[in-house]
Chain A
Amino acid sequence: MFYILGAGAVLSALSMVTNKRPVSAAMSLIVTMFCLAGLYVLLDAHLIAALQIIIYAGAIMVLFLFVIMLLNIQEKEGRLAGHKIFLQFSGIVIVGYIFIKVVKLIGGSNLPARMEGSIKGFGTTSAVGEMLFTDFLLPFEIASVLLLAAMVGAVILAKAKID
């Protein structure tokens, strides 16, 4: 199951990157997100899997599609300037190098031992929610301020006319 979902995620991610049309790219990204949601279920992260579909695949991607439709973006073809090609090439080389390093090192590293004892209802809404409202209360509150700031910011930038 892991391998099917993993392959699906990688393939649709590739198709997103190589796609020139924003709408199809967005659709591919949604497929990736669904595959990841499946993986989260395999990892017993039930709440996060649901949120992945609701927030990412639902809210965020709909917002993307909405903006794409709103702007009605036309693709333009053009030749890349020389330094851009260089930039792209060096970007790929650097990222590839880092990637190979990361994979090599992760393969040979010893990770900390599992913590003892089992958490009741690992990954369920009640277990995660309990942590969120007790130990992680402060980040939760900061997140609310962050959303408020983002809301104010988005309104001020996108509103047609401000008085």
Chain B
Amino acid sequence: MEILIPTINLESIYPEILITVFAILVLLLQVFTSLPGRKQLGYISLTGIVLASIIVLTQGGAFGENTALPIYSFSNLWVVDNFSRFFKLIILIGTGLTVLISIKYLKDEGIDHGEYYSLILFTTIGMMIMAGGSDLITIFLGIELMSISLYVLTGYTRKRLLSNESSLKYFLLGSFATCFLLYGISLLYGATGTTNLKGISGFISDANFGSPVLIIGMVLLLIGFGFKVASVPFHMWTPDVYEGAPAPITAFMSASPKAAAFAAFLRVFIEALPSLQGVWVDIIWVLAAMTMTAGNVIALVQDNVKRMLAYSSIAHAGYILVAFISTDKSGIASILYYMLAYTFMNIGAFAIVIIIGGKGEEKVHVKDYTGLGYRYPLTAAAMTLFLLSLTGIPPTAGFMGKLYLFSAAIKSGYVGLVTIAVLNSVISLYYYLKIIVAMYLKEPELDVAHDSLVFSPAMVIALIIAVCGVLLVGIFPSPYIAMAQQSYISF
């Protein structure tokens, strides 16, 4: 029998290979390192992440009008284009920051094993595959690689019951959502005869696009992705999982996997199902409105800061969905830009939560933040910056991001939805301000013991990067916006 081996373009998956090599390297090295040397493993994984980012940046030339891209490889299962490169950069930035804020935390909790870093790197590979897959089978495997590693990371603090429970909850609901996603994929396959995104869109445009099987498949896919990006009404897992997971993992989950889920979501819906836009735009309109409103309103009554940030992250997914429905070039570009800004500000805010939380994550309530402004002015200033950015107040990245998101939606004529979004931003001001007020204006309560905070060098570096990120992306947005706009071209 003659077998034709297709040409293998290894260059197109160099970043993924590199991260895999580092994940295995960390696993092997941890056997030979003593307990005090464990934090070196963190820096080794960081090296891998930085190297991978450099490769992503140089892959196929610089960002810009680039004729070399997109490069399809592996029988059209994989694509390197500006869209996937931009998302991969966001994912790698999120992962790098997470590794930095984890090092001290792991030592405090007595869980500094190499497996932690290696699982984070596995999650990263999964997310990069989600961003780069151009076939439902690659995207599905990427989602699963990411989810399975995240289930484990959520339950990583094995001695804490809360962590175990949230891990189980995440696992059961996550697999449940995966079933819907898969069922959707199978119906899509049945309706079009292929799982390739380009193939699907090609089939739909020149054939019966009103096929009911196709519509059901699309709705099921929407449920699956809705779960992954934590949009209401598929958000039930988010607050509990975010609260129970170790804090660095919560920071991670709220940033990078969300970005990756949006990458896959956008690619599948805009590349494969543009002909069904009339149907899914309406559904996403409702999802966006519900997600923003529910996220913000429930966040109002939260006292636990971790939980509050969980609901706020739900609300932010809603803002992103607002731009999703505009589906044109500026809509996509604004999502990319916002995801970049969001990664910096959200991980930054969680970094402060970790510092305040101290050993065993006991201090996660608003009252633990009282008087912080006097004792640690710099920390409080950084937290204020992140919270203002999350609210969307100039001159931060969050402001520019929101402005860009909403203007894209207005341009496409969704004035009603943008009104809801702006009203929601006003609501969100209340609960973000609650923390700021506690830090600066409230007297510390007597029953709150104040230990001195400990700042590890890695944490300080992460905070500096996050602060610089929020300010740079916010004050000098044009290069990033230009980059984001280039990223649409390949579609």
Contacts and interface: CB of A to CB of B under 8 A. Distances in A.
Indicate yes or no for A touching B, C-beta below 8 A.
Answer: yes
Interface of A: 101-102, 105-106, 108-112, 115, 126, 130, 133-139, 142-143, 145-146, 148-150, 152-157, 162
B119 A149 contact: yes
B125 interface: yes
B227 to A, nearest CB: 15
A153 B152 contact: yes
A134 B122 contact: no
A138 B74 contact: yes
A101 B148 contact: no
B48 interface: no
A105 B190 CA distance: 14
B178 interface: no
Given A136-B137, A145-B122, A146-B141, A108 B8 contact: no
A134 B6 contact: yes
Contacts of A102: 216
Given A152-B115, A153-B151, A157-B155, A134 B3 contact: yes
Interface in B212-247: 212-213, 215-216
B165 to A, nearest CB: 13
B213 A149 contact: no
A152 B145 CA distance: 12
A81 B196 CA distance: 46
B264 to A, nearest CB: 14
A138 B137 CA distance: 10
Nearest to B8: A137
22 contacts: A105-B213, A105-B215, A110-B208, A110-B211, A112-B192, A134-B3, A135-B75, A136-B77, A137-B8, A138-B78, A142-B141, A145-B20, A146-B141, A146-B148, A149-B119, A149-B145, A152-B27, A152-B115, A153-B149, A154-B152, A156-B113, A157-B155
Contacts of A146: 126, 141, 144-145, 148
A134 B8 contact: no
B118 interface: yes
Contacts of B75: 134-137
A137 B126 CA distance: 16
Given A126-B1, A157-B158, A149 B149 contact: yes
A112 B115 contact: no
B5 interface: yes
Contacts of A157: 152, 155, 158
B5 A145 contact: no
A156 B5 CA distance: 38
Nearest to B5: A134
Given A112-B193, A145-B20, A157-B152, A152 B118 contact: yes
B216 A139 contact: no
A85 B137 CA distance: 37
B156 interface: yes
B211 A109 contact: yes
B142 interface: yes
Given A105-B215, A133-B3, 7 more contacts: A130-B1, A134-B4, A137-B75, A143-B141, A149-B122, A153-B151, A157-B158
A112 to B, nearest CB: 5
Nearest to A102: B216
A162 B149 contact: no
Nearest to A108: B212
A157 B159 CA distance: 10
Contacts of B156: 156
B271 to A, nearest CB: 18
Which secondary structure characterizes the binding site on chain B? helix
B190 A111 contact: yes
A159 B77 CA distance: 37
B481 to A, nearest CB: 33
A112 B203 contact: yes
B216 A105 contact: yes
B145 A145 contact: yes
Given A142-B138, A145-B125, A101 B216 contact: yes
B142 A153 contact: no
A61 B346 CA distance: 41
B345 interface: no
A161 to B, nearest CB: 10
B27 A153 contact: no
B163 to A, nearest CB: 11
B207 interface: yes
The 9 closest A-B pairs by CB, nearest first: A153-B152, A105-B212, A149-B122, A138-B74, A135-B75, A109-B212, A142-B141, A146-B145, A156-B115
A106 B138 CA distance: 27
A153 B119 contact: yes
A3 B20 CA distance: 47
B129 interface: yes
Contacts of A149: 119, 122, 126, 145, 148-149
B80 interface: no
A109 B115 contact: no
B213 A109 contact: yes
Nearest to A149: B122
A39 B200 CA distance: 28
A101 B77 CA distance: 32
Contacts of A139: 77, 137-138, 141
Contacts of B126: 146, 149
Contacts of A130: 1, 3
B213 A111 contact: yes
A91 to B, nearest CB: 11
Nearest to A104: B212
Most chain-B Cβ atoms within 10 A of its Cβ — which of A108, A130, A146?
A146
Contact of B191 (A111, A134, A143): A111
A89 B4 CA distance: 54
A135 B148 contact: no
A148 B148 CA distance: 11
Given A136-B137, A138-B77, A150-B148, A115 B215 contact: no
A157 to B, nearest CB: 6
Given A109-B212, A112-B203, A142-B138, A135 B129 contact: no
